[in-house]
Amino acid sequence: MATVAFIGLGNMGGPMAANLIKAGMTVTVFDLVPAAVEALTAQGALSAKTACGAAASADFVITMLPAGKHVRHLYLGDDDTKGLLDVVSKEAVLIDCSTIDAESAQVVGKHAQAKGIEFMDAPVSGGTAGAAAGTLTFICGGSDKAYQKAQTVLTVMGANIFHAGATGAGQIAKICNNMLLSVLMVGTSESLQLGIDNGLDPKVLSDIMKVSSGGNWTLEKYNPCPDVMENVPSSNDYQGGFMVDLMVKDLGLSQQTSVASNSSTPMGSLARSMYVNHARQGNGRRDFSSIFEQFTPADKK
């Protein structure tokens, strides 16, 4: 059975690591937060005092961290601290599942290549529910060899695994998807409120649009209007799900990428402004479908 080091045991990393343990793999974990480590050792993980300690003898190293600066520092280290690339075995496969800027993934990938180590970016889609259920979508960027080897662990944590291209391609595909998702969420919200303002029942309107030309994922799986659908954040005061702050991060990444490639992304730009504004009004930790409230009259919120 494969040995795995898992670093970054937050909302996503915790349940992902738990699924590897359930599959019988030897998983050594590390997080800066001791309680996050304890939650995994209680489920059968081994723990290490440092990230490098966890990674040194692992076949696979998986990281699930907040942003590019954390990933660069962990893999590359600095003048005083060793990075993962300084300690891992040459046969190990390193997989970063965080959503970060493609450039950081490419920089880490270049350093890994120079040392003869396989590194892949593999951001995920599917949220905390997908992480817990082992049904995540992995969007990978890296060599064919790394992609093939990584199947051993990715198939345990995910249901759909794609090879988007070279290092960094996983991150680009991920932010293209999330930019589209934000636009669909805003558009669906304003359409539903337009119907409500003109006397329509949002459930009936949702049923109509779902099977008409406006049909989309938010209507099918994640309706933003409260009480139209059961078991979605909008019917639970927008708790759980995918935080506005994370959507703001992803839309910042898509706009940075758009500027770098001189692309035209007016809808993504507008969606970012709307989500930034929404976060500034105190909604950063609520689910991203709460953008619906931007269209709701004040006395109906």
**Which residues in this chain contact ligand NAD in the complex, by CB under 6 A?**
7-13, 30-33, 36, 51, 64-66, 70, 74, 98-99, 124, 127-128, 242, 246
Exposure pattern of 1-40 as b/e (b: 16+ CB <10 Å)?
ebebbbbbbbbbbbbbbbbbbebebbbbbbbeeeebbebb
Using the minimum distance from each CB to ligand NAD, give the nearer residue, 126 or 195.
126
Using the minimum distance from each CB to ligand NAD, give the nearer residue, 72 or 163.
72
Under DSSP, is residue 242 helix (H, G, I), strand (E, B) or coil? coil
The minimum distance between CB 68 and ligand NAD, in angstroms, equals 9
Going by the DSSP 8-state scheme, the letter that residue 287 receives in this structure is B
Cα distance between residue 3 and residue 153, in whole Å: 10
The minimum distance between CB 150 and ligand NAD, in angstroms, equals 17
Using the minimum distance from each CB to ligand NAD, give the nearer residue, 1 or 33.
33
- Our CA dihedral for 212, 128, 186, 231, rounded to 10 degrees, sits at 60
* List 149, 174, 249, 301, catalytic entry: 174
290: tokens are: 């709460």
Q: Which amino acid is at 218?
A: T
In the chain, which ranges are E strands? 3-7, 26-30, 46-47, 60-63, 93-96, 118-121, 124-125, 136-141, 158-165
The minimum distance between CB 60 and ligand NAD, in angstroms, equals 16
How big is the CA angle at 141 (ends 243 and 20), to the nearest 5 degrees? Answer: 65
Q: Which residue is nearest to ligand NAD (CB)?
A: 10
**Residue 174 designated active-site:** yes
Residue among 117, 46, 121 nearest 86 (CA)? 117
Neighbours of 276 (CB within 10 A): 16
Using the minimum distance from each CB to ligand NAD, give the nearer residue, 50 or 148.
50
Residue with tokens 């930034």: 276
Using the minimum distance from each CB to ligand NAD, give the nearer residue, 64 or 76.
64
CB 223, CB 234: distance < 8 Å: yes
CB 52, CB 94: distance < 8 Å: no
Using the minimum distance from each CB to ligand NAD, give the nearer residue, 21 or 205.
21
Cα distance between residue 261 and residue 100, in whole Å: 17
Q: Which amino acid is at 204?
A: V
Enzyme catalytic residues: 174
